[in-house]
Structure 1
Amino acid sequence: MMRQAGRYMAVYRKLAEKYPSFRERSETTELIVEISLQPWRAFQPDGVIIFSDILTPLPAFGISFDIEEVKGPVIQSPFVRRGVKKSLKILRNEVGEKAAVLGFVGAPWTIATYIVEGGTTRTYTNIKRMCHTAPHVLRTLLSHLTEAISDYIVYQVNCGAHCIQIFDSWGGQLPPDVWDRWSKPYIKEIVSAVKKKCPGTPLVLYINGNGGLLERMKDTGADVIGLDWTVDMADGRRRLGSQMKVQGNVDPAYLFGPLPVLTDEIHRVVGCAGPRGHILNLGHGVLVRTPEEAVAHFFDVVRGLRYETLFQDSATKQFEPVA
C-alpha cells in the first residue's frame, strides 16, 4: 500500500514528536527500519516499503533540502547522513520470506521540478518555461538525474529491495506530447539500464493523474503500470492490454467511509482488473488522518479474497474481467 507508513498511524505520530525532523526520520537507519516496520507489524501487508523520500539522492548533487510539515519539500537545508543501505539489509532480514521489501525512486522530471522550482508548486511554470528558454540546460540536468537514479535503483536492489517503484509524481502535469519529450525518454533509459544490471527486478511506474498517459507509460518498458484512482480499472486494462501488469487503484478516500463500502470497492476493482496480472493497491498514498482500522480492514479483505468465487456468476457478468 503506497505511503503505508506515516502520519495516519498513532505510533508514527508519537515517534515524530520525539524526532520532529522528517529528514532525521528518513535518513537515520534505526528510525527508517522502525517506521518501515510499523505498518507491517500492525497489518501484515505483503510488502514492506522502505521509509524514505524521492529527494534522498539530491545531496549527491550538492543540493540540500528539507521537508517541512506544511510546505513539503524545500530545497535549502543541510544534509543528514543517509541510512538506506543498512536499512534495506535490516528490513530484508527482519521480514524474511514473509513479505517483499520494496524500494522506490523519483523519476528525473519529477526530481527536476523540485530542483528548479525550489519546492512544491501548483503550476510548475519555471521548469515548463525552461523547456523552451533553456532546453539544453534542462536536458543536461535530466540526463545527470537519469544516470544517478539508475545507479540508485541498482544500489537499492543490491542492498535487498525485491521491487522498485518509479514515481513520476508530477509527470501528469504535462500534456502527453510534452511528457513524451521531457519525461518518457529518461524513464526508458532508466528501465533499460536497470534491466541490464538487475534483469529479475520488477519495475513499477506510477504517475499521478496518468489517465492521458497510459499507453505512453507502457512504452517505457516498465513491468507494471500503476493506475491512479481517477482511471477506471476496466478501461485501463483494455487500453494497456491483457499482457501488461497493473497496480491499483482504490481511491484512498474510501478508507474514510463505512467499511462495507470499502469492501465493495475492493471487490469491484479486483473484478475489473481480472484474475491475472494485477497488484491490488490504492490509487494514491494513504491520506493523513486515515483511520487505522480502515487500513487494517483493507488488508483483511485482501487476504480473504478468493478468485474462484469472486469471478463467478454475477461478478463475472458485472465486471467483465480481462482474460
Structure 2
Amino acid sequence: MRQAGRYLPQYREVRGKTTFLGLCKTPELAAEVTVQPVDLIGVDAAILFSDILIPVEAMGMRVEFHENEGPVLPEPIRNQADIERLAIFDPSERTPFTLEAIRQTVRALDRRVPLIGFAGAPFTLAAYMLEGRGSKSWLGVKRLMATEPRLAHELFGKIASAIGQYLVAQIEAGCDAVQIFDSWGGELGPADFERWTLPYVQRIVADVKAKAPHVPVIFFGTGMSTLLPKLKDTGADVLGLDWRIELKDARKILGDDVAVQGNLDPTALFLPKEEITRRVEEIISQNAGRPGHIFNLGHGITPPTDPDHARHLVNEVHRLGARKA
C-alpha cells in the first residue's frame, strides 16, 4: 500500500531530481523507487510507482501536482462536450513511460518478487475529473449522477474502457497482478455503489480476464466495510480491507472463496515495536489459518513513518505467518 514514498530517505533523494509527474514519467527513476521497498524493507511484492491520474491525463485532461496540495485538474469536466472529448487511449502511445517503467522494474527485480500494477476505479477518477482537485464532499460527481445520469454513465463507461485497456497493457509489459483502487468509493451508499461502481468495475475485471485470465485482480476501496457482500460481485480475485473492520468479521461475511488483503491501520507503525508485533499477531490470529490472506496495511503508509518500523512489521509478518502456516 503506497510502498515507495516520502517515508524512505532513498525515495526523497530520487524525488529531489525531478517533479512528481517527472518521476512517474521517467522509467529508470520510477523503476528505481519501485524496487526500493523490496531491497530496503523486505516486502514480498513490488508495487509500480505511478499515479491513478496518469490515465486521466492520457484521456486528454490536464493534470498538475502542486506541492503540499496534491493533484489539480485546472480544466475540470463541465458539460457533455468535455466528456465527448475524452479519448479511450492506446497505452503504448499515450503512456509508454509507464510500460517502460514496468519492463525496467521486471528486469531489476529478476523474479525475486512479483510486480503489481494498478489503476483507479471509474468513480474515483470521475470524482477528480469533475471536482478538479481533492474534496471532502465530492459534490461534483454526485451532482452529475443525480441530475444528469445519462452523462454520468457515459463518463463512467469511457473511463472503464480506458482503464481496462491500461491494465491489460501493464500485464503485457510484465505485471504479475493488477489492483483497482477506489480511493473514494466509500462515499457511496449500497444502492449507489450497485448502480455507479459495480457494473464499471465488473467491466474492467472482465476486460482484464478476457486477455489475461490467470492474472489476479485486486479491488480495494476505503470505507467500504458495509459494502463487503457487494464487493464479491466485482469479480476481483482479492478484496482489500481497510482497518475499519475486524479481519475475522470480514472473512465471516465474505466466506473463504475470495482472498483478502489487509488490514493494519497505517498509524500502528508509530507504536513501539512490541505493540506492532502484537497487532500483527492479532490480525494473523483473526485469519485463523484460512488460505488467501495477504497481510497488508489498511491504507497507504504515511510519510512520517520510521522505515525501521516498517521493516520490523515485515519481519514480524514473516516470522508469525510462518509459525501459523
TM-score, normalising length: structure 2: 0.91
Task: Pick one of 314, 318, 321 that aligns with 1:299.
Answer: 314
Q: Determine if contact 1:224/1:246 at 8 Å carries over to the other structure.
A: yes
The alpha carbon displacement at 1:303 in A equals 2.1
**Aligned-partner SS, 2:234:** coil
Quote the residue 1:314 is aligned against: none
Find the aligned partners of 2:67 and 2:298 in 1 and give their Cα distance.
23
1:22 paired residue among 16, 20, 23: 20
1:12 is matched with: 11
Tell me how large the CA RMSD over aligned residues is.
Answer: 1.5
Match of residue 114 from structure 1: 128
- Shift of residue 82, structure 1, vs aligned partner: 5.0
Over residues 33-68 of structure 1, what are the superposed CA-to-partner deviations in whole Å (9 max), with x where a residue is unaligned? 111111112022110111000111112221010122
Q: Tell me what 1:3 maps to.
A: 2
Contact 2:264 2:297 in 1 (8 A): yes
How many residues in Structure 1 have an aligned counterpart in Structure 2? 306
Q: Is the 8 A contact 2:167 2:178 kept in 1?
A: yes
- Superposition map of 1:1-323 within 5 A: 2-19=1-18, 21-76=19-74, 83-275=97-289, 276-307=291-322, 309-310=323-324
Aligned to 1:156, what secondary structure does the other structure show? helix
CA contact (8 A) 1:29 1:82 kept: no
> For residues 305 and 182 of structure 1, do their structure 2 counterparts lie closer, same or farther at Cα, with a shift above 3 Å needed?
same
Report how far residue 306 of structure 1 moved.
Answer: 4.6
**Cα drift, residue 300 of structure 1:** 1.1
Q: Taking structure 1 as the reference length, what is the TM-score of the superposition?
A: 0.92
Q: State the distance in 1 between where 2:106 and 2:153 align.
A: 36
- Residue identity matched to 2:136: R
Contact 1:65/1:73 (<8 A) preserved: yes
Deviations 1:226-263 (A, max 9, x none): 00011110000000001211000011111001001001
CA distance in 1, matches of 2:143, 2:321: 51
SS of the aligned residue for 1:199 comes to coil
Shift of 1:81: 6.9
Report SS of the residue matched to 1:231: coil
- Give the whole-Å Cα distance in 2 for the aligned partners of 1:236 and 1:27: 37
Deviates more, 1:297-306 or 1:174-183: 297-306
Secondary structure in 1 matching 2:218: strand
- The residue type paired with residue 152 of structure 1 is Y
- Distance in 2 between residues matched to 1:257 and 1:170, nearest whole Å: 27
5+ residue gaps, structure 2, are 76-93
